[in-house]
Amino acid sequence: GICYCCTALHARGRVTCSTIACLVCDLPAVRKAAQLAGPTSHFYCTACHCWHKSTSSRTDIESEDWGLQDKSEVRQYAKLWKNTRTLAECNKLFISHGVWWSTLWRLSYWDPFHQIVVNIMHCLLEGLVHTHFREFLG
Main-chain phi, psi angles of 21, to 5 degrees? -85, -45
The whole-model pTM stands at: 0.62
Q: What is the pLDDT of residue 120?
A: 66
Instruction: Look at residue 5 in the predicted model and tell me its pLDDT.
Output: 92
Residues 100, 78 contacting (CB under 8 angstroms): yes
pLDDT at 84: 93
Burial class (CB in 10 A: 0-12, 13-18, 19+), 1: exposed
Per-residue pLDDT at 61: 67
pLDDT at 78: 93
Return the pLDDT at 40: 74
pLDDT average per 10 residues of sequence, the chain (138 residues): 87 84 76 81 71 66 73 92 93 89 88 75 63 61
Nearest to 137 by CA among 71, 44, 75: 44
Angle between helices 87-97 and 71-83 (to 10 degrees): 160
